[in-house]
Amino acid sequence: MDTELSYLQRKGAEYFIQETKRVIEQRHTALPMAYVHSFGCQQNQSDTEKIMGMLSAMGYGFTPTAENADLVLFNTCAIRENAETKILGNIGAIKQYKMANPNLVVCVCGCMVQQKHIVEKLQKSYGFVDIIFGTHALASFPELLYQKLAGLETKLVNVLDKTDDIVEGLPVHRQDALKAWLPIMYGCDNFCTYCVVPHVRGRERSRRPEDILAEVRQLVADGYREITLLGQNVNSYGKGLSPAINFSGLLRQIAEIPGEFRVRFMTSHPRDCTHELLDTIAAYDKLCIGIHLPVQSGSDRILQAMNRHYDTAHYLELVDYARKKIPGVMFTSDIIVGFPGETRAEFESTLELIRKVRFEKLFTFIFSPRPGTKAAEMEDPVPYSVKSGWLRELLEVQTDIVYDLYAQMIGHTFVVLAEAESKSKPGVLIGRTNTNVLMEFEGTKDLIGHFIPVKALKATKTAVIGQIIE
Ligand code: 5AD
Ligand code: SF4
């Protein structure tokens, strides 16, 4: 069941996929090649898989380099300024190929182009870009490409301000045969003061559980072993859906689907992470026990300035409760260092929290002011060099913690999904535990795709070396 608008968008996408395919078939003797480069988070990678699904349905093959491609597409990220700078550099490097081949179609989409100033910049200084479309206009890509290829328009922009719709049923070209991304919701309503996401991905909206469950069943039937549920704030899944359902309810239904697979999810917001959710994780083996719960800061004043709606006491209570209910649970987190006005003492509170929780992995960032966000307007007197010093200090503390956590695993056996052969060590397989710890162990390639008991023998700073238990 679609809403009227999303039904029309899907039908429109299907129609223009066929029309574009027809135009391409008339022109090309060889398979046209697309070079697709995706930046940013898993949500963006998931969007990229849909874009590639549509390209594939239109008759494109894929090439790993932009040189000689017939179409180049960048799916962009706006989360930090250095991401944007890097992406603009990548786009700029395409100009030479366009000059050599005027038929090359250059597309830029995603979060960055949801910002007006970026679209203006692309139009002014990157005139060789043909098609620009935002996060809300994914389903219009085949139509834009059709107009370009059929010569109806030369420069095309579709950046909708917002959407309340979810277009189901677009084709997906998955990049992995074992692990799948599965978005359960889109957008974000939180307005953390540093964050551009609500500005570029719009209001929060959840997919219907029946659509999600059908996709999980299909993935399991297709042999996928690990499904990661995606959303900016999965803990608030279900808002506005009827009949009522929350994230724990969805997880229970997914975990009851028969088959050999496991489930991860990201990202959780500590404000909305409930005891019910932690109890649900404890109740089902299929639900992984590595929980990504971004804390951002260990200072209550900074958390308030970030508009996070929880304090460190709440966060630590959740961690304690989880440790009691879920044996072996591990936490990972995101940290922002140098939020505007952060003092040395406040930074030290973050170090203290890290030492208390003992995260298995941290994704660490230096604050980057984003146009349109509240934090970008705040006084920010601490120089960047000091902030990067703090970040180095934090990483040193974290490296020791991870090594300790891994050393504590020695002698215990873990169920590991064997994912691939190590690139540097033939005969060695790599895989992850249900806490998401990377393990390396000797084994033959036929084991890839299986869940295998592996005993931990030795810790390194980045992985645990183990041995398969017969
Ligand atoms: N500056 C630095 N880091 C940021 N993040 C989000 N916005 C910013 C910003 N403006 C970080 C947060 C978030 C992660 C995805 O990126 O830690 O959880
Ligand atoms: Fe993902 Fe946010 Fe970057 Fe968009 S801006 S790609 S939502 S991290």
275 Cβ contact partners less than 8 Å away, ≥ 6 residues apart = 321
**Res. 152 pLDDT band, cuts 50 70 90:** confident
Closest C-alpha among 229, 225, 193, 198 to residue 212 = 229
Task: Tell me 457's DSSP state.
Answer: E
Which CATH number applies to 179-404? 3.80.30.20
1: pLDDT strictly greater than 80: no
- Region 116-132: mean pLDDT is 96
Question: Helix crossing, 247-255 with 209-221: angle to 10°?
Answer: 30
Q: What is the mean pLDDT of residues 87-108?
A: 97
pLDDT in the model for residue 2: 60
pLDDT digits (tens, 9 = 90+) for 414-468: 999 999 999 999 999 999 999 999 999 999 999 999 999 999 999 999 999 999 9
The pTM of the full predicted model, rounded to 2 decimals, is 0.95
Nearest CA to ligand 1 atom 17: 334
| Residue type (1 letter), 381 | P
Average pLDDT, the chain: 95
- The per-residue pLDDT for 155 is 82
**Alpha-helical regions (H) of 126-160:** 141-149
Look up residue 144 and give its two tokens.
């834009």
pLDDT tens-place string over residues 288-343: 999 999 999 999 999 999 999 999 999 999 999 999 999 999 999 999 999 999 99
239 CA to centre of own chain: 21
Tens-digit pLDDT profile for residues 179-191: 999 999 999 999 9
pLDDT of 154: 78
Residue 55's nearest CA partner among 132, 107, 93 is 107
**Cβ(227)–Cβ(261) below 8 Å:** yes
Q: How far is the CA of 364 from the centre of ligand 1 (A)?
A: 8
Ligand 2 atom closest to 83 (CA): 3
Residue among 269, 320, 325, 263 nearest 292 (CA): 269
What was the pLDDT predicted at 350? Answer: 98
The best mutation among 37, 39, 43 to test binding of ligand 2, ranked by most ligand atoms within 8 Å of the C-beta, falls on 43
Cα radius of gyration (the chain): 23
Burial 23-47 (b: 16+ CB within 10 A, else e): bbeeeeeeebbbbbbbbbbebbebb
Specify whether the CB–CB gap between 199 and 372 falls below 8 A.
yes
| Confidence at residue 456, expressed as pLDDT on a 0 to 100 scale | 98
205 CA → ligand 1 middle, Å: 21
Residues facing 206 on adjacent strands: 185
Reported as a pLDDT band with limits 50, 70 and 90, residue 153 is: confident
Pocket test for ligand 2, best of 200, 267, 363, 368 (most atoms within 8 A of CB): 200
- Atom index in ligand 1 nearest the CA of residue 196 equals 7
Q: What is the fold of 413-468?
A: OB fold (Dihydrolipoamide Acetyltransferase, E2P) (2.40.50)
Lowest mean pLDDT among 89-98, 156-165, 418-427: 156-165
User: Is residue 353 in contact with ligand 2, taking CB distance under 6 Å?
Assistant: no
Measured in whole angstroms, the distance separating CA 407 from the mean position of its chain's CA atoms is: 29
Indicate whether residue 71 lines ligand 2 (CB < 6 A). no
- Ligand 1 atom with the smallest distance to the CA of 296 is 17
365 lines ligand 2 (CB under 6 A): no
Average pLDDT in the 124-135 region? 96
Instruction: Determine the pLDDT at residue 280.
Output: 98
Ligand nearest to the CA of residue 378, numbered in listed order: 1
Q: What's the pLDDT band for 204 if we cut at 50, 70, 90? A: very high
Nearest CA to ligand 1 atom 2: 367
Strand-pair partners of 292: 332
Helices marked H in 101-196 — which ranges? 116-125, 141-149
Choice from 39, 82, 336, 384 to test ligand 1 binding pocket (greatest atom count within 8 A of CB): 336
Give 4-158's CATH code, choosing from 3.40.50.300, 3.30.470.10, 3.40.50.12160, 3.30.70.890.
Answer: 3.40.50.12160
C-alpha 44 to ligand 2 mean position (Å): 6
Domain ranges of the chain: 4-158, 179-404, 413-468
For the chain, report the end-to-end CA distance as a whole number of angstroms: 48
Relative to the CA of 40, which ligand 2 atom is closest? Answer: 6
What is the 79 CA–ligand 2 centroid distance (Å)?
Answer: 5
Instruction: Let me know if 304 is exposed, middle or buried by CB neighbors in 10 A (0-12, 13-18, 19+).
Output: middle
Distance separating alpha carbons of residues 458 and 453, to the nearest angstrom: 16
What pLDDT band is residue 369 in, cutting at 50, 70 and 90? Answer: very high
**CA 84–ligand 2 middle distance (angstroms):** 11
Round to whole Å and give the CA distance between 149 and 83. 30
Residues with CB under 6 A from ligand 1: 79-80, 194-195, 294, 296, 334, 336, 365, 367-368, 370
365 Cα–ligand 1 center, Å: 6
Q: What is the mean pLDDT of residues 198-221?
A: 95
Q: Do domains 179-404 and 413-468 have the same CATH topology?
A: no
Distance 172 CA to ligand 1 centre (A): 28
User: Taking residues 226-232, what's their average pLDDT?
Assistant: 97
